[in-house]
Amino acid sequence: MRGLPPSQHILPRGDQVLDASTPPRIHVLAKPTGAVCNLACEYCFFLDKELFYPDSSFRMSDEVLETYIRQLIETHRTPQVTVAWQGGEPTLMGVDFYRRAIELQKKHGRPGMTFENTMQTNGTLLDDEWGEFFKENDFLIGISIDGPAELHDAYRVDKKGRPTFERVMKGLRLLQKYEVEHNILVTVNRKNANHPLDVYRFLRDEAGASWMQFIPVVERINEDGLRLYQEGTSVSERSVTPEQFGRFLIQVFDEWIRNDVGKIFVQTFEASLRNWMGLPSSGMCVFEETCGLGLALEHNGDLYSCDHFVEPRYLLGNIQETQIGELVASEKQRKFGRDKRDSLPRACRECDVLFACHGECPKNRFLATADGEPGLNYLCAGWKAFFHHVDQPMKIMAMLMRQGRPAWEVMRVLGGEEEAALEAAFAKAGRNDPCPCGSGLKFKHCHGKRGSEGTQRAEAKTSTALENTRNG
């Protein structure tokens, strides 16, 4: 999301005058139904936001839609434009609303421009008409699933409190039937965080997912019990704890790094690798030094600083009165983006994983550091544990990629390393010790049966494997 160098800017053909202060590409999450949803997931912070628009119909009008598409195009100086739909539940608008959006993209698009439409949905309202439409128009669909039925249904329920797992899986199968490109969004909460491998293996082996993202649930509860503002230090009992979140990521990472690199794409791992490689952008705003290029558009044209800050203080203006480009380039929004870096406490500025974490998202920075400075991220302990844990494999993958080799070769390197460590433990084990392989048997009845010849062979293998690892 960071800007291109000035030499690569593509001048707009639209009537809007863009200057160097306008970023060449922005990301807007449009909410055509506002906060309205057909489900009532217990941890959804957005449901309370209906209160900001008391008399609204919560449907984006054709006028706002056309203004939005036209301005979004005019704001872009890149030939690719992402049009992102979210909610609430965006499918409540019906397919025709999105047919019209495609029509408007064709009407206002400049020659050579391409559009990628994305949608985040709970999947429960999808049918064949949606499947055909998505396929025909190349939509990328994000579908929310929190793991196998018992974990998914812990919080993802409908307005009558009924489970939704079966309905969501039907939606997922429909996307797969029409070969619609999709990824799975998992919210990591207090319940499913204790079952990382059940969640990951379910997604990989049963849901057939090859692209997934894990979003921590950090639900701040305001003094009045609502979740309208990013205020206060209380979190709900549904929120993941920092330690749980760290453990969750670490266990999923360990499974992934042994078996799935290059096959399964986990957004946090990909973004981390980009930071370990020193690339200009991680691809995730939370891991960037500054932010402010991912905005949220309400159904009535109100534009906010970010999807997580849809509240009056962060309202930039209405796109029917002021151009999107102008609102994005406003000092208010630029300060919002810079504050991500400028408000970091010393603990973060001196942290050894700052290059990967960058203090994560400002919405989660409501703790005080050990020396009492405000602004430490609630998830700090989890992020730190995770980034420390992945340091060595990330370095190996970064090195492989710099050498022009595929990152998945890391599985071979680490496989050899693990085997080497085990063989070294065999070499040291006494006959009556428990076998290091973890079988629960005595060493002499398990791997110790191999005798001295086996041990010598193992020692030789150990040093070769270690050598290979060092040479990488």
- Report which secondary-structure segment, H or E, holds 250: helix 242-259
Closer to ligand SF4 at the Cβ: 285 or 465?
A: 285
Near ligand SF4 by CB under 6 A: residue from 217, 361, 414, 446: 361
Cα→Cα distances 299→70, 106, 231, 317, Å: 16, 21, 24, 13
* Cα-based angle 57, 61, 65 (whole degrees, multiple of 5): 135
Instruction: Tell me how many residues contact ligand SF4 (CB under 6 A).
Output: 22
DSSP assignment letter at 307: G
If binding is defined by CB under 6 A, does position 363 make contact with ligand SF4? yes
Closer to ligand SF4 at the Cβ: 84 or 168?
A: 84
Quick one: which of 227, 112, 218, 128 has its CA closest to 173? 128
If binding is defined by CB under 6 A, does position 41 make contact with ligand SF4? no
Closer to ligand SF4 at the Cβ: 24 or 148?
A: 24
Site for ligand SF4 in 238-267 (CB under 6 A): none
CB of 117 to ligand SF4, least distance (A): 21
If binding is defined by CB under 6 A, does position 28 make contact with ligand SF4? no
If binding is defined by CB under 6 A, does position 357 make contact with ligand SF4? yes
For 139, residues 6+ apart whose C-beta sits below 8 A from its C-beta are 117, 118, 119, 133, 180, 181
Quick one: which of 136, 208, 218, 216 has its CA closest to 176? 208
Near ligand SF4 by CB under 6 A: residue from 126, 316, 380, 424: 380
Q: Which residue has the tokens 């994005």?
A: 328
Site string for ligand SF4, 275-314 (x = CB under 6 A): ----------xx----x--x-----------x-x------
If binding is defined by CB under 6 A, does position 60 make contact with ligand SF4? no
Q: Which stretch binds ligand SF4 (CB under 6 A): 190-198, 324-332, 379-387, 443-451?
A: 379-387
Where b means 16+ CB within 10 Å and e means fewer, 120-134 reads: bbbbbbbeeebbebb
If binding is defined by CB under 6 A, does position 351 make contact with ligand SF4? yes
Residue type at 190 in one-letter notation: R
CB of 337 to ligand SF4, least distance (A): 7
Near ligand SF4 by CB under 6 A: residue from 26, 257, 347, 458: 347
If binding is defined by CB under 6 A, does position 70 make contact with ligand SF4? no
Strand partners, 184: 143, 212
If binding is defined by CB under 6 A, does position 353 make contact with ligand SF4? yes
Q: Which stretch binds ligand SF4 (CB under 6 A): 181-189, 326-334, 380-388, 414-422?
A: 380-388
Structure tokens at 191: 């319940």
CA distance linking residue 123 with residue 103, whole number of Å: 24
Closer to ligand SF4 at the Cβ: 184 or 361?
A: 361
As annotated, the active-site residues are 307
Closer to ligand SF4 at the Cβ: 128 or 352?
A: 352
Structure tokens at 298: 């309400």
Site string for ligand SF4, 447-466 (x = CB under 6 A): --------------------
Site string for ligand SF4, 307-336 (x = CB under 6 A): -x----------------------------
Phi, psi of 125 (to 5 degrees): -105, 5
CB of 327 to ligand SF4, least distance (A): 15
Q: How many Å is the maximal CA-CA distance in the chain?
A: 83
CA distance linking residue 314 with residue 319, whole number of Å: 14
Near ligand SF4 by CB under 6 A: residue from 84, 384, 423, 462: 384
Are 268 and 213 in contact by the 8 Å Cβ rule? The answer is yes
Q: Which residue has the tokens 């989660």?
A: 364
Quick one: which of 154, 159, 168, 158 has its CA closest to 124? 168
Are 319 and 64 in contact by the 8 Å Cβ rule? The answer is yes
CB of 442 to ligand SF4, least distance (A): 43
What's the 3-state SS for 386-429? HHHHHHHHHHHHHHHHHCCCCCCHHHHHHHHHHHHHHHHHHHHC
Residues lying near ligand SF4 in the complex (CB under 6 A) are found at: 285-286, 291, 294, 306, 308, 340, 347-348, 351, 353-354, 357, 359-363, 377, 380, 383-384
